[in-house]
Structure 1
Amino acid sequence: MSDPTTSRRDRLRAQTSAEIKAIALQLMADGGPSAISLRAIAREMGMTASAIYSYFATRDDLITALIGDVYTSAVDAAEAARDAVPESDPGARIMAWAQAMRTWALANPEGFRLIYGDPVPGYRAPDDGPGQQAELRACSALLGLVDAAWPTARVQRPEGRSYDWADFHPDLVAHAREDFPDLPPAGVAMTLSVWGRMHGLLTLEIYGHLRTFMHDPGTVYRDEMYDFTVSLGLRS
Protein backbone atom coordinates (compact mmCIF):
# COMPACT_ATOMS: atom_id res chain seq x y z
CA MET A 1 0.00 0.00 0.00
CA SER A 2 1.36 3.45 -0.88
CA ASP A 3 2.20 5.94 1.84
CA PRO A 4 -0.40 8.78 1.63
CA THR A 5 1.95 11.19 3.40
CA THR A 6 4.68 10.57 0.87
CA SER A 7 2.24 10.91 -2.02
CA ARG A 8 0.98 14.23 -0.69
CA ARG A 9 4.53 15.47 -0.19
CA ASP A 10 5.44 14.44 -3.73
CA ARG A 11 2.41 16.22 -5.13
CA LEU A 12 3.25 19.42 -3.27
CA ARG A 13 6.85 19.23 -4.40
CA ALA A 14 5.77 18.75 -8.01
CA GLN A 15 3.39 21.71 -7.78
CA THR A 16 6.10 23.92 -6.30
CA SER A 17 8.59 22.85 -8.99
CA ALA A 18 6.03 23.68 -11.67
CA GLU A 19 5.43 27.10 -10.13
CA ILE A 20 9.18 27.78 -10.02
CA LYS A 21 9.46 26.96 -13.72
CA ALA A 22 6.43 29.10 -14.60
CA ILE A 23 7.88 32.09 -12.76
CA ALA A 24 11.25 31.54 -14.45
CA LEU A 25 9.56 31.80 -17.86
CA GLN A 26 7.70 34.92 -16.76
CA LEU A 27 10.94 36.52 -15.56
CA MET A 28 12.44 35.72 -18.95
CA ALA A 29 9.43 37.26 -20.72
CA ASP A 30 9.73 40.44 -18.64
CA GLY A 31 13.48 40.87 -18.50
CA GLY A 32 15.15 38.46 -20.91
CA PRO A 33 17.13 35.31 -20.15
CA SER A 34 19.51 37.07 -17.76
CA ALA A 35 16.55 37.85 -15.46
CA ILE A 36 16.20 34.19 -14.49
CA SER A 37 17.69 33.64 -11.04
CA LEU A 38 16.77 31.43 -8.12
CA ARG A 39 16.84 34.37 -5.69
CA ALA A 40 14.45 36.38 -7.85
CA ILE A 41 12.09 33.41 -8.06
CA ALA A 42 12.31 32.88 -4.30
CA ARG A 43 11.33 36.53 -3.71
CA GLU A 44 8.41 36.20 -6.12
CA MET A 45 7.16 33.08 -4.32
CA GLY A 46 7.80 34.35 -0.80
CA MET A 47 10.35 31.61 -0.17
CA THR A 48 13.77 31.75 1.41
CA ALA A 49 16.80 31.19 -0.80
CA SER A 50 17.66 28.03 1.13
CA ALA A 51 14.16 26.65 0.53
CA ILE A 52 14.27 27.09 -3.23
CA TYR A 53 17.74 25.54 -3.40
CA SER A 54 16.18 22.33 -2.09
CA TYR A 55 14.29 22.15 -5.39
CA PHE A 56 17.07 23.26 -7.74
CA ALA A 57 20.61 23.37 -6.44
CA THR A 58 21.74 25.86 -9.07
CA ARG A 59 20.23 28.15 -11.66
CA ASP A 60 21.65 25.89 -14.38
CA ASP A 61 19.81 22.91 -12.89
CA LEU A 62 16.59 24.90 -13.19
CA ILE A 63 17.34 25.94 -16.78
CA THR A 64 18.15 22.33 -17.72
CA ALA A 65 14.86 21.07 -16.27
CA LEU A 66 12.95 23.93 -17.85
CA ILE A 67 14.40 23.35 -21.32
CA GLY A 68 13.63 19.64 -21.03
CA ASP A 69 10.00 20.31 -20.10
CA VAL A 70 9.50 22.95 -22.77
CA TYR A 71 11.15 21.00 -25.58
CA THR A 72 9.31 17.80 -24.65
CA SER A 73 6.01 19.68 -24.67
CA ALA A 74 6.71 21.01 -28.16
CA VAL A 75 7.68 17.60 -29.55
CA ASP A 76 4.69 15.90 -27.89
CA ALA A 77 2.34 18.36 -29.62
CA ALA A 78 4.01 17.98 -33.01
CA GLU A 79 4.12 14.18 -32.84
CA ALA A 80 0.45 14.00 -31.88
CA ALA A 81 -0.51 16.15 -34.87
CA ARG A 82 1.68 14.11 -37.21
CA ASP A 83 0.26 10.82 -35.97
CA ALA A 84 -3.29 12.01 -36.62
CA VAL A 85 -2.47 11.97 -40.36
CA PRO A 86 -2.14 8.70 -42.31
CA GLU A 87 1.41 7.57 -43.03
CA SER A 88 0.43 7.29 -46.68
CA ASP A 89 0.37 11.11 -46.96
CA PRO A 90 3.90 12.34 -46.05
CA GLY A 91 3.19 15.84 -47.34
CA ALA A 92 0.21 16.24 -45.03
CA ARG A 93 2.22 14.84 -42.11
CA ILE A 94 4.90 17.48 -42.68
CA MET A 95 2.18 20.14 -42.80
CA ALA A 96 0.61 18.81 -39.59
CA TRP A 97 3.94 18.86 -37.78
CA ALA A 98 4.66 22.41 -38.92
CA GLN A 99 1.22 23.72 -37.99
CA ALA A 100 1.37 22.06 -34.57
CA MET A 101 4.75 23.68 -33.90
CA ARG A 102 3.32 27.10 -34.76
CA THR A 103 0.26 26.55 -32.54
CA TRP A 104 2.49 25.44 -29.68
CA ALA A 105 4.91 28.36 -30.15
CA LEU A 106 2.13 30.95 -30.13
CA ALA A 107 0.79 29.45 -26.91
CA ASN A 108 4.30 29.24 -25.38
CA PRO A 109 6.34 32.14 -26.79
CA GLU A 110 8.75 32.28 -23.83
CA GLY A 111 9.36 28.55 -24.17
CA PHE A 112 10.01 28.90 -27.89
CA ARG A 113 12.52 31.68 -27.25
CA LEU A 114 14.21 29.58 -24.58
CA ILE A 115 14.84 26.57 -26.83
CA TYR A 116 15.20 28.25 -30.23
CA GLY A 117 16.15 31.84 -29.61
CA ASP A 118 17.66 33.60 -26.63
CA PRO A 119 20.63 31.89 -24.96
CA VAL A 120 20.78 32.14 -21.18
CA PRO A 121 24.01 33.96 -20.30
CA GLY A 122 26.57 31.65 -18.74
CA TYR A 123 24.43 28.53 -19.07
CA ARG A 124 26.17 25.32 -20.08
CA ALA A 125 23.86 22.46 -21.02
CA PRO A 126 24.81 18.95 -19.84
CA ASP A 127 25.92 16.53 -22.53
CA ASP A 128 22.87 14.30 -22.18
CA GLY A 129 20.24 16.39 -20.44
CA PRO A 130 16.48 16.26 -21.02
CA GLY A 131 16.71 19.09 -23.56
CA GLN A 132 19.19 17.14 -25.66
CA GLN A 133 16.98 14.06 -25.46
CA ALA A 134 13.93 16.03 -26.64
CA GLU A 135 16.00 17.61 -29.41
CA LEU A 136 17.04 14.13 -30.55
CA ARG A 137 13.38 13.12 -30.61
CA ALA A 138 12.57 16.13 -32.79
CA CYS A 139 15.51 15.41 -35.10
CA SER A 140 14.51 11.75 -35.39
CA ALA A 141 10.92 12.68 -36.15
CA LEU A 142 11.90 15.11 -38.89
CA LEU A 143 14.30 12.58 -40.37
CA GLY A 144 11.44 10.09 -40.31
CA LEU A 145 9.12 12.48 -42.13
CA VAL A 146 11.71 13.03 -44.82
CA ASP A 147 12.58 9.34 -45.01
CA ALA A 148 8.90 8.55 -45.67
CA ALA A 149 8.69 11.25 -48.32
CA TRP A 150 12.04 10.52 -49.97
CA PRO A 151 11.01 7.72 -52.36
CA THR A 152 8.65 10.02 -54.28
CA ALA A 153 10.08 13.45 -53.48
CA ARG A 154 11.55 15.62 -56.22
CA VAL A 155 14.78 17.25 -55.14
CA GLN A 156 16.33 19.88 -57.37
CA ARG A 157 19.88 21.08 -56.79
CA PRO A 158 22.16 23.43 -58.71
CA GLU A 159 24.04 21.62 -61.42
CA GLY A 160 26.97 19.73 -60.01
CA ARG A 161 25.88 20.19 -56.38
CA SER A 162 25.60 17.06 -54.25
CA TYR A 163 25.85 16.18 -50.57
CA ASP A 164 28.21 13.79 -48.88
CA TRP A 165 28.20 12.40 -45.34
CA ALA A 166 31.29 14.50 -44.63
CA ASP A 167 29.11 17.61 -44.94
CA PHE A 168 27.35 16.83 -41.64
CA HIS A 169 28.26 16.44 -37.99
CA PRO A 170 29.38 12.87 -37.22
CA ASP A 171 26.74 12.44 -34.49
CA LEU A 172 23.96 13.37 -36.92
CA VAL A 173 25.42 11.06 -39.56
CA ALA A 174 25.62 8.14 -37.14
CA HIS A 175 22.04 8.66 -36.01
CA ALA A 176 20.66 9.03 -39.54
CA ARG A 177 22.50 6.00 -40.91
CA GLU A 178 21.49 3.80 -37.98
CA ASP A 179 17.78 4.68 -37.89
CA PHE A 180 17.20 5.52 -41.57
CA PRO A 181 19.70 3.43 -43.54
CA ASP A 182 18.03 4.12 -46.90
CA LEU A 183 18.14 7.91 -46.53
CA PRO A 184 21.08 9.41 -48.48
CA PRO A 185 23.05 12.51 -47.46
CA ALA A 186 20.77 14.63 -49.64
CA GLY A 187 17.87 13.45 -47.50
CA VAL A 188 19.58 14.75 -44.37
CA ALA A 189 20.09 18.09 -46.12
CA MET A 190 16.40 18.09 -46.99
CA THR A 191 15.58 17.49 -43.31
CA LEU A 192 17.56 20.58 -42.33
CA SER A 193 15.75 22.49 -45.07
CA VAL A 194 12.37 21.40 -43.70
CA TRP A 195 13.43 22.50 -40.22
CA GLY A 196 14.65 25.86 -41.49
CA ARG A 197 11.53 26.52 -43.54
CA MET A 198 9.34 25.73 -40.54
CA HIS A 199 11.18 27.85 -38.03
CA GLY A 200 12.30 30.80 -40.16
CA LEU A 201 8.95 32.53 -40.49
CA LEU A 202 7.87 31.27 -37.09
CA THR A 203 10.84 32.92 -35.41
CA LEU A 204 10.04 36.22 -37.14
CA GLU A 205 6.46 35.94 -35.90
CA ILE A 206 7.31 35.04 -32.30
CA TYR A 207 9.75 37.95 -32.08
CA GLY A 208 7.09 40.32 -33.38
CA HIS A 209 8.62 41.18 -36.74
CA LEU A 210 5.66 40.18 -38.91
CA ARG A 211 2.80 41.82 -37.03
CA THR A 212 3.82 45.23 -38.34
CA PHE A 213 3.30 44.02 -41.89
CA MET A 214 0.19 41.81 -41.80
CA HIS A 215 -2.77 40.91 -39.62
CA ASP A 216 -2.40 37.13 -39.81
CA PRO A 217 1.16 35.86 -40.28
CA GLY A 218 -0.23 32.34 -40.15
CA THR A 219 -1.42 32.64 -43.74
CA VAL A 220 2.12 33.19 -45.03
CA TYR A 221 3.40 30.37 -42.81
CA ARG A 222 0.82 27.91 -44.12
CA ASP A 223 1.47 28.97 -47.71
CA GLU A 224 5.23 28.63 -47.24
CA MET A 225 4.92 25.09 -45.92
CA TYR A 226 2.38 24.12 -48.56
CA ASP A 227 4.60 25.49 -51.33
CA PHE A 228 7.51 23.56 -49.88
CA THR A 229 5.64 20.25 -49.95
CA VAL A 230 4.48 21.01 -53.52
CA SER A 231 8.09 21.75 -54.58
CA LEU A 232 9.05 18.30 -53.32
CA GLY A 233 6.34 16.67 -55.38
CA LEU A 234 4.41 15.62 -52.28
CA ARG A 235 1.29 17.49 -53.40
CA SER A 236 -0.22 18.26 -56.77
Structure 2
Amino acid sequence: MAGTRSTGRRERLRAETIAEIKSTALELMRSGGPDAITLRAIAREMGMTPNAIYGYFATRDDLVTTLIADVYTALADAVDAAWAASSQDSPAARIPAWAHAFRNWALANPEGFRLIYGDPVSGYQAPEGGAAPDAARRVCVGIAALADAAWGNTESPPREGGFTWDDFDPGLLGKIRPAFPDLPPAGVALALRIWGHLHGLVALEVYGHLRAQTLSPDKLFRAELAQLIRSLGFEND
Protein backbone atom coordinates (compact mmCIF):
# COMPACT_ATOMS: atom_id res chain seq x y z
CA MET A 1 0.00 0.00 0.00
CA ALA A 2 2.83 2.39 0.86
CA GLY A 3 4.45 1.68 -2.50
CA THR A 4 1.18 2.49 -4.29
CA ARG A 5 0.89 5.83 -2.47
CA SER A 6 4.49 6.66 -3.31
CA THR A 7 3.96 5.85 -6.98
CA GLY A 8 0.78 7.92 -7.04
CA ARG A 9 2.56 10.85 -5.44
CA ARG A 10 5.41 10.69 -7.96
CA GLU A 11 2.95 10.59 -10.85
CA ARG A 12 1.05 13.56 -9.42
CA LEU A 13 4.22 15.59 -8.94
CA ARG A 14 5.38 14.72 -12.45
CA ALA A 15 2.03 15.83 -13.93
CA GLU A 16 2.21 19.08 -11.94
CA THR A 17 5.75 19.76 -13.15
CA ILE A 18 4.81 19.09 -16.77
CA ALA A 19 1.86 21.47 -16.44
CA GLU A 20 4.18 24.14 -15.00
CA ILE A 21 6.70 23.62 -17.80
CA LYS A 22 3.98 24.13 -20.40
CA SER A 23 2.54 27.22 -18.73
CA THR A 24 6.03 28.68 -18.34
CA ALA A 25 6.71 28.08 -22.03
CA LEU A 26 3.58 29.98 -23.03
CA GLU A 27 4.45 32.81 -20.64
CA LEU A 28 7.91 33.07 -22.20
CA MET A 29 6.26 33.17 -25.62
CA ARG A 30 3.94 35.95 -24.44
CA SER A 31 6.83 38.14 -23.37
CA GLY A 32 9.49 37.17 -25.91
CA GLY A 33 7.81 35.55 -28.90
CA PRO A 34 8.03 31.93 -30.03
CA ASP A 35 11.84 31.89 -30.11
CA ALA A 36 11.82 32.47 -26.35
CA ILE A 37 10.64 28.90 -25.86
CA THR A 38 13.80 27.02 -24.91
CA LEU A 39 14.27 24.28 -22.34
CA ARG A 40 17.13 26.19 -20.71
CA ALA A 41 15.02 29.34 -20.33
CA ILE A 42 12.15 27.33 -18.86
CA ALA A 43 14.50 25.57 -16.44
CA ARG A 44 15.89 28.94 -15.37
CA GLU A 45 12.39 30.38 -14.77
CA MET A 46 11.37 27.33 -12.76
CA GLY A 47 14.58 27.08 -10.75
CA MET A 48 15.48 23.73 -12.28
CA THR A 49 18.75 22.54 -13.74
CA PRO A 50 18.78 22.09 -17.53
CA ASN A 51 19.48 18.38 -17.08
CA ALA A 52 16.45 17.98 -14.83
CA ILE A 53 14.03 19.39 -17.40
CA TYR A 54 15.26 16.90 -20.00
CA GLY A 55 13.66 14.22 -17.86
CA TYR A 56 10.29 15.66 -18.86
CA PHE A 57 10.94 16.72 -22.46
CA ALA A 58 13.93 15.34 -24.32
CA THR A 59 13.99 18.21 -26.82
CA ARG A 60 12.50 21.65 -27.34
CA ASP A 61 10.56 20.25 -30.31
CA ASP A 62 8.96 17.58 -28.11
CA LEU A 63 7.68 20.35 -25.84
CA VAL A 64 6.41 22.48 -28.74
CA THR A 65 4.61 19.46 -30.21
CA THR A 66 2.92 18.84 -26.86
CA LEU A 67 1.93 22.50 -26.56
CA ILE A 68 0.46 22.57 -30.07
CA ALA A 69 -1.48 19.37 -29.42
CA ASP A 70 -2.89 20.76 -26.16
CA VAL A 71 -3.79 24.12 -27.69
CA TYR A 72 -5.34 22.72 -30.85
CA THR A 73 -7.37 20.17 -28.90
CA ALA A 74 -8.70 22.87 -26.56
CA LEU A 75 -9.76 24.96 -29.55
CA ALA A 76 -11.40 21.98 -31.27
CA ASP A 77 -13.28 21.13 -28.07
CA ALA A 78 -14.54 24.72 -27.72
CA VAL A 79 -15.86 25.12 -31.26
CA ASP A 80 -17.25 21.58 -31.41
CA ALA A 81 -19.18 22.16 -28.19
CA ALA A 82 -20.62 25.44 -29.48
CA TRP A 83 -21.66 23.80 -32.74
CA ALA A 84 -23.26 20.82 -31.00
CA ALA A 85 -25.18 23.08 -28.61
CA SER A 86 -26.63 25.25 -31.40
CA SER A 87 -29.82 24.56 -33.30
CA GLN A 88 -29.41 22.35 -36.36
CA ASP A 89 -32.46 24.07 -37.86
CA SER A 90 -30.95 27.56 -37.78
CA PRO A 91 -27.73 28.10 -39.72
CA ALA A 92 -28.15 31.83 -39.13
CA ALA A 93 -27.64 31.10 -35.41
CA ARG A 94 -25.34 28.10 -35.73
CA ILE A 95 -22.63 29.80 -37.77
CA PRO A 96 -22.26 32.71 -35.30
CA ALA A 97 -22.20 30.22 -32.40
CA TRP A 98 -19.11 28.56 -33.89
CA ALA A 99 -17.58 31.93 -34.76
CA HIS A 100 -18.02 33.41 -31.29
CA ALA A 101 -16.61 30.27 -29.68
CA PHE A 102 -13.55 30.60 -31.90
CA ARG A 103 -13.07 34.28 -31.05
CA ASN A 104 -13.69 33.80 -27.33
CA TRP A 105 -11.17 30.97 -27.18
CA ALA A 106 -8.57 33.00 -29.08
CA LEU A 107 -8.95 36.04 -26.82
CA ALA A 108 -8.70 33.85 -23.71
CA ASN A 109 -5.66 32.02 -25.10
CA PRO A 110 -3.68 34.53 -27.19
CA GLU A 111 -0.38 32.68 -26.84
CA GLY A 112 -2.04 29.46 -27.95
CA PHE A 113 -3.59 31.22 -30.94
CA ARG A 114 -0.21 32.62 -31.92
CA LEU A 115 1.39 29.20 -31.52
CA ILE A 116 -0.93 27.48 -34.01
CA TYR A 117 -1.87 30.36 -36.32
CA GLY A 118 0.84 32.95 -35.95
CA ASP A 119 4.59 33.20 -35.77
CA PRO A 120 6.38 29.88 -36.36
CA VAL A 121 8.85 28.58 -33.81
CA SER A 122 12.23 28.87 -35.54
CA GLY A 123 13.68 25.50 -36.48
CA TYR A 124 10.71 23.53 -35.19
CA GLN A 125 10.19 20.22 -36.97
CA ALA A 126 6.70 18.80 -36.51
CA PRO A 127 6.31 15.02 -36.38
CA GLU A 128 5.06 13.24 -39.49
CA GLY A 129 1.36 13.89 -39.82
CA GLY A 130 1.52 17.12 -37.81
CA ALA A 131 1.59 17.97 -34.14
CA ALA A 132 -2.15 17.59 -33.61
CA PRO A 133 -3.67 15.79 -36.61
CA ASP A 134 -6.99 14.90 -34.98
CA ALA A 135 -7.61 18.37 -33.56
CA ALA A 136 -6.58 20.02 -36.84
CA ARG A 137 -9.00 17.75 -38.70
CA ARG A 138 -11.81 18.60 -36.26
CA VAL A 139 -11.31 22.35 -36.68
CA CYS A 140 -11.08 21.96 -40.46
CA VAL A 141 -14.28 19.89 -40.54
CA GLY A 142 -15.94 22.51 -38.34
CA ILE A 143 -15.11 25.23 -40.85
CA ALA A 144 -16.45 23.04 -43.66
CA ALA A 145 -19.62 22.52 -41.61
CA LEU A 146 -20.23 26.28 -41.74
CA ALA A 147 -20.13 26.14 -45.54
CA ASP A 148 -22.22 22.98 -45.65
CA ALA A 149 -24.89 24.63 -43.49
CA ALA A 150 -25.02 27.52 -45.94
CA TRP A 151 -24.89 25.30 -49.02
CA GLY A 152 -27.66 23.01 -47.94
CA ASN A 153 -30.04 25.66 -46.67
CA THR A 154 -30.06 28.36 -49.35
CA GLU A 155 -31.69 28.30 -52.74
CA SER A 156 -28.73 29.97 -54.43
CA PRO A 157 -25.49 29.29 -52.53
CA PRO A 158 -22.47 31.29 -53.71
CA ARG A 159 -20.89 29.58 -56.71
CA GLU A 160 -18.31 32.11 -57.87
CA GLY A 161 -14.93 31.11 -59.20
CA GLY A 162 -15.50 27.99 -61.27
CA PHE A 163 -13.61 25.85 -58.75
CA THR A 164 -12.62 22.23 -59.36
CA TRP A 165 -11.08 19.64 -57.04
CA ASP A 166 -7.68 20.39 -58.56
CA ASP A 167 -7.79 23.84 -56.96
CA PHE A 168 -7.37 22.40 -53.46
CA ASP A 169 -4.68 20.63 -51.48
CA PRO A 170 -5.32 16.87 -51.31
CA GLY A 171 -4.68 16.93 -47.57
CA LEU A 172 -7.46 19.48 -47.09
CA LEU A 173 -9.85 17.46 -49.23
CA GLY A 174 -8.92 14.33 -47.30
CA LYS A 175 -10.30 16.00 -44.17
CA ILE A 176 -13.41 17.58 -45.69
CA ARG A 177 -14.76 15.17 -48.29
CA PRO A 178 -15.29 12.16 -45.97
CA ALA A 179 -17.34 14.37 -43.64
CA PHE A 180 -19.25 16.21 -46.38
CA PRO A 181 -19.30 14.02 -49.51
CA ASP A 182 -21.99 16.15 -51.18
CA LEU A 183 -20.15 19.47 -50.76
CA PRO A 184 -18.86 20.49 -54.22
CA PRO A 185 -15.57 22.28 -54.96
CA ALA A 186 -17.29 25.66 -54.77
CA GLY A 187 -18.51 24.68 -51.30
CA VAL A 188 -14.93 24.00 -50.18
CA ALA A 189 -13.97 27.42 -51.56
CA LEU A 190 -16.87 28.92 -49.60
CA ALA A 191 -15.53 27.30 -46.42
CA LEU A 192 -12.15 28.96 -46.95
CA ARG A 193 -13.80 32.31 -47.66
CA ILE A 194 -15.85 32.08 -44.46
CA TRP A 195 -12.67 31.17 -42.60
CA GLY A 196 -10.99 34.25 -44.01
CA HIS A 197 -13.79 36.47 -42.70
CA LEU A 198 -13.62 35.01 -39.19
CA HIS A 199 -9.89 34.48 -38.84
CA GLY A 200 -8.91 37.90 -40.18
CA LEU A 201 -10.65 40.00 -37.56
CA VAL A 202 -9.73 37.63 -34.73
CA ALA A 203 -6.05 37.71 -35.71
CA LEU A 204 -6.07 41.50 -35.85
CA GLU A 205 -7.60 41.60 -32.38
CA VAL A 206 -5.27 39.00 -30.84
CA TYR A 207 -2.20 40.77 -32.19
CA GLY A 208 -3.44 44.13 -30.91
CA HIS A 209 -3.84 45.79 -34.30
CA LEU A 210 -7.43 46.95 -33.62
CA ARG A 211 -6.66 48.80 -30.39
CA ALA A 212 -5.92 52.11 -32.08
CA GLN A 213 -8.87 51.78 -34.48
CA THR A 214 -11.85 50.79 -32.36
CA LEU A 215 -12.95 50.66 -28.75
CA SER A 216 -15.60 48.07 -29.65
CA PRO A 217 -13.95 45.07 -31.37
CA ASP A 218 -16.84 42.86 -30.26
CA LYS A 219 -19.31 45.15 -32.01
CA LEU A 220 -17.15 45.09 -35.13
CA PHE A 221 -17.00 41.28 -35.09
CA ARG A 222 -20.77 41.02 -34.67
CA ALA A 223 -21.33 43.41 -37.58
CA GLU A 224 -19.01 41.33 -39.78
CA LEU A 225 -20.88 38.18 -38.81
CA ALA A 226 -24.23 39.79 -39.57
CA GLN A 227 -22.97 40.83 -43.01
CA LEU A 228 -21.61 37.32 -43.60
CA ILE A 229 -24.94 35.73 -42.68
CA ARG A 230 -26.78 38.06 -45.08
CA SER A 231 -24.29 37.32 -47.87
CA LEU A 232 -25.10 33.63 -47.47
CA GLY A 233 -28.78 34.31 -48.01
CA PHE A 234 -29.97 34.03 -44.44
CA GLU A 235 -31.90 36.42 -42.27
CA ASN A 236 -30.11 37.29 -39.04
CA ASP A 237 -31.87 35.85 -36.00
Same fold (TM over 0.5): yes
Corresponding residue for residue 69 of structure 1:
70
Corresponding residue for residue 122 of structure 1:
123
Corresponding residue for residue 232 of structure 1:
232
Corresponding residue for residue 168 of structure 2:
168
Indicate if the aligned counterparts of 2:22 and 2:67 stay in contact, CA closer than 8 A. yes
CA distance in 1, matches of 2:90, 2:6: 50
Indicate if the aligned counterparts of 2:137 and 2:175 stay in contact, CA closer than 8 A. no
Gaps of at least 5 residues in structure 1 are none
CA distance in 2, matches of 1:133, 1:175: 10
CA distance in 1, matches of 2:102, 2:175: 23
Tell me which amino acid in the other structure corresponds to 1:215: L
CA distance in 2, matches of 1:193, 1:219: 21
Q: Aligned-pair distance for 1:149? A: 2.8
Give the length in aligned residue pairs.
234
Q: Aligned-pair distance for 1:235? A: 2.3
Corresponding residue for residue 14 of structure 2:
13
Indicate if the aligned counterparts of 1:68 and 1:129 stay in contact, CA closer than 8 A. no
CA distance in 1, matches of 2:76, 2:232: 24
> What is the root-mean-square deviation of aligned Cα atoms in Å?
1.7
CA distance in 1, matches of 2:104, 2:174: 32
Corresponding residue for residue 83 of structure 2:
82
Q: Deviations over 1:27-63 (max 9, x none)?
A: 1111111111000000111111111001110000000
Corresponding residue for residue 196 of structure 1:
196
CA distance in 2, matches of 1:5, 1:222: 53
Indicate if the aligned counterparts of 2:28 and 2:36 stay in contact, CA closer than 8 A. yes
Indicate if the aligned counterparts of 1:177 and 1:183 stay in contact, CA closer than 8 A. yes
CA distance in 1, matches of 2:231, 2:9: 55
Corresponding residue for residue 157 of structure 2:
155
Q: Aligned-pair distance for 1:130? A: 4.2
Q: Aligned-pair distance for 1:157? A: 4.8
Q: Aligned-pair distance for 1:173? A: 2.0
Indicate if the aligned counterparts of 1:98 and 1:198 stay in contact, CA closer than 8 A. yes
Q: Deviations over 1:167-205 (max 9, x none)?
A: 001122233222211110111111111111111011111
Q: Aligned-pair distance for 1:133? A: 2.3
CA distance in 2, matches of 1:126, 1:83: 31
Corresponding residue for residue 177 of structure 1:
177
**Residues 174, 112 of structure 1: CA spacing in aligned structure 2 closer, same or farther, 3 A cutoff?**
closer
Secondary structure of 1:208's match?
A: coil
TM-score, structure 1 length as denominator?
0.93
TM-score, structure 2 length as denominator?
0.93
Could you tell which deviates more after superposition, 51-60 or 132-141? 132-141
Q: Aligned-pair distance for 1:84? A: 1.6
Tell me which amino acid in the other structure corresponds to 2:202: L
Corresponding residue for residue 187 of structure 2:
187
CA distance in 2, matches of 1:179, 1:42: 43
Q: Aligned-pair distance for 1:129? A: 4.2
Indicate if the aligned counterparts of 1:147 and 1:183 stay in contact, CA closer than 8 A. yes
Corresponding residue for residue 219 of structure 1:
219
Tell me which amino acid in the other structure corresponds to 2:109: N
Corresponding residue for residue 101 of structure 1:
102
Tell me which amino acid in the other structure corresponds to 1:151: G
Corresponding residue for residue 206 of structure 1:
206
Indicate if the aligned counterparts of 2:79 and 2:142 stay in contact, CA closer than 8 A. no
Gaps of at least 5 residues in structure 2 are none
**Residues 96, 127 of structure 1: CA spacing in aligned structure 2 closer, same or farther, 3 A cutoff?**
same
CA distance in 2, matches of 1:76, 1:175: 17
CA distance in 2, matches of 1:62, 1:168: 32
**Residues 3, 150 of structure 1: CA spacing in aligned structure 2 closer, same or farther, 3 A cutoff?**
farther
Q: Aligned-pair distance for 1:148? A: 3.0
